[in-house]
Structure 1
């Protein structure tokens, strides 16, 4: 499914990767092998869902016909994801005052700092690495890049570094070399991840992320989970239940929120729990990925893939053959209404958390949320024909949304 990396996170990402060293590829590659994940890269805020300890997620039950009542007990997938949420939240709480600092003597060999005439320490190679990450972000996620200009320099550069790593990871199974990627290649990429978290980066992009994770309380697990999502894409093309699909959406998109909230920061005066803020970010990632899936049904079907819960299709009286046939019927419209309703519930959960982010981080997150949610409106405007028509938000609507999102973010409290 083509789509988006975050744009404001919803930016198209075809970054690159390839055999041993992963370089940033040109945007010429446009064929995808699975639903493009919303790199949500600057992660979203996260509001809590149905209780203090529950994962941000709207009522599940089948939404084929109408909204189901909220389910009090978390599923196995929710429980697994929530463990990661708690772990990251705990890391933020305990590491908040104590950010790791390296002295000049302890600097890795790739940080060549030098004294400037004014007596200020220069960035050297590390500065070049961050600058390159910024260039990649500016090229592929223009709106989000603009939003990062409101952040402090340190946060801005850190978000760029995370964005680039996510993009490169996604390109492993979606880029020009995707047909050559094997489970072993993903294992090597995961080993590189572990090395950079230990201060042993492989290239300049790794160096930027290595420096970032040394300064902010970022846990490695969401990064590992995103790689796990890539492993799924190598062999899995059907999802029997929404619980299975939910876990996939967490792997490829929800993880981004958990990676970036520690960098974007929580408002000092926020009364929300750390867990609830991470839950909201998680909800935004799930919402964005579900939107990608609903937008790209036809494109995925032409590649032999179905990213819709098969049990809910059956409950709606639909089969895989109906998907491949690509005909809009009343059954399909009813089914799609339920799927869109669920995605909107996730967006609603996510939006509640925006006000709890640091003030400088709210606008890019809120803008990305509003812009991506409008894709659902476009699907409805196309009479639910996501087989032959691609739903998108026009430039005029985007331009109108940005200042409104900025104003809303400014008064959020």
Structure 2
């Protein structure tokens, strides 16, 4: 993390600055689309968003036992212990305002500065525990219960950092919806990978309505193909996700003007994953679909134009800030 961002955010203590820098590195490595959009935030907001996402990434790594901070290839019992240890560190960090682990140190500092409700994090951990034992969701209502803790609360955590021009509670439903839309997009993109982990996030009743089930998903995964029944279920999932994006978009005008380009760009880029999946014929059981770099660059440029406009309009050091944003966004979008 650049010293400029940390200085702008008023983060002065050396170990706390190092903690935020660790979170930024996690985000840069794991979430290219999300990270690119974050570059459109004002520098004083970026460290706090990195802290929130860095913690979520750490917990997710433990659950998936993948690369990064989680124990690679760990047995379920090991992952359960690691997640329990993380929750202990989290609760202690929230209580004391800092922790021995840098990610929780940055998170705790963010929570204190923005007066975030601790329940947002305990709800998140509850959903992470579900991922250790729950392998399928019979209905969308069941899945929505899981997504409250795993996705909606992320939107609610980030909202105070972004700032609003309306009372915060008016913007909260749209912020929660955006978190859910992002996660449903990930579920659709990662159907094959999640199946390899033993999980199916497409609701059972939605699959059944199209004559599909886990066995058919597994069959398609093994053969590198997509059955028409599966394609129908995936198409309905995409349509459902688009409707949630529409609800989420209604909250963008409620945000602080300098934060709107970031959120709008993230929404467009993530929704663009749906476009790419549909255009490719829903091949998500055997390959990951991504938004092409040229489109990411194009949307980043549009977002940058919005940044410049909003900062000039609100007299937020327009020349220096817009040049900083241009440098950052160009660097990340071409990486």
With the shorter chain as reference, the TM-score category is: 0.7 to 0.9
Q: Using a 3 Å threshold, how does the CA distance of structure 1 residues 121 and 237 change in structure 2: closer, same or farther?
A: closer
Matched, 1:156 2:34: no
Matched, 1:172 2:70: no
In structure 2, the partner of 1:190 is 87
Root-mean-square deviation over aligned CA pairs: 2.7
1:275 Cα shift?
2.5
Q: Using a 3 Å threshold, how does the CA distance of structure 1 residues 124 and 337 change in structure 2: closer, same or farther?
A: closer
In structure 2, the partner of 1:399 is 297
Match of 2:105 among 183, 189, 207: 207
Check conservation: 1:382, 1:389, Cα contact below 8 A: no
* TM-score, with structure 2 as normaliser: 0.77
In structure 2, the partner of 1:91 is none
Matched, 1:373 2:271: yes
1:325 Cα shift?
1.5
In structure 2, the partner of 1:45 is none
1:188 Cα shift?
2.6
In structure 2, the partner of 1:137 is 27
Structure 2 distance, partners of 1:299, 1:150, is: 30
Structure 2 distance, partners of 1:208, 1:324, is: 40
* TM-score, with structure 1 as normaliser: 0.64
Question: Higher RCO, 1 or 2 (CA under 8 Å, sep at least 6)?
Answer: 1
1:349 Cα shift?
0.9
1:215 Cα shift?
1.3
1:216 Cα shift?
0.9
Q: Using a 3 Å threshold, how does the CA distance of structure 1 residues 290 and 146 change in structure 2: closer, same or farther?
A: closer
Q: Using a 3 Å threshold, how does the CA distance of structure 1 residues 265 and 318 change in structure 2: closer, same or farther?
A: same
Segment of structure 1 superposing worse, 296-305 or 221-230:
296-305
In structure 2, the partner of 1:32 is none
Unaligned residue ranges in structure 2 (runs of 5+) = 1-9, 314-335
Q: Using a 3 Å threshold, how does the CA distance of structure 1 residues 406 and 153 change in structure 2: closer, same or farther?
A: closer
Check conservation: 2:63, 2:83, Cα contact below 8 A: no
Match of 1:291 among 185, 196, 199: 185
Specify the SS of the correspondent of 2:45.
Answer: helix
1:351 Cα shift?
1.2
Check conservation: 1:144, 1:364, Cα contact below 8 A: no
Structure 2 distance, partners of 1:156, 1:341, is: 32
User: How far does the alpha carbon of each residue in 1:373-394 deviate from its partner, in whole angstroms, 9 at most, with x for none?
Assistant: 1111111112223222322111
In structure 2, the partner of 1:38 is none
Unaligned residue ranges in structure 1 (runs of 5+) = 1-119
Check conservation: 2:37, 2:266, Cα contact below 8 A: no
User: How far does the alpha carbon of each residue in 1:249-281 deviate from its partner, in whole angstroms, 9 at most, with x for none?
Assistant: 2222222111111111113xx4xx422311111
Structure 2 distance, partners of 1:242, 1:136, is: 31
Q: Using a 3 Å threshold, how does the CA distance of structure 1 residues 126 and 393 change in structure 2: closer, same or farther?
A: same
Query: For residues 13-412 of structure 1, what are the structure 2 equivalents within 5 Å?
Result: 122-141=12-31, 144-145=34-35, 147-148=37-38, 151-174=41-64, 175-176=66-67, 177=71, 179-180=74-75, 181-199=78-96, 200-267=98-165, 270=166, 273-326=167-220, 327-407=225-305, 410=309
Q: Using a 3 Å threshold, how does the CA distance of structure 1 residues 154 and 214 change in structure 2: closer, same or farther?
A: farther
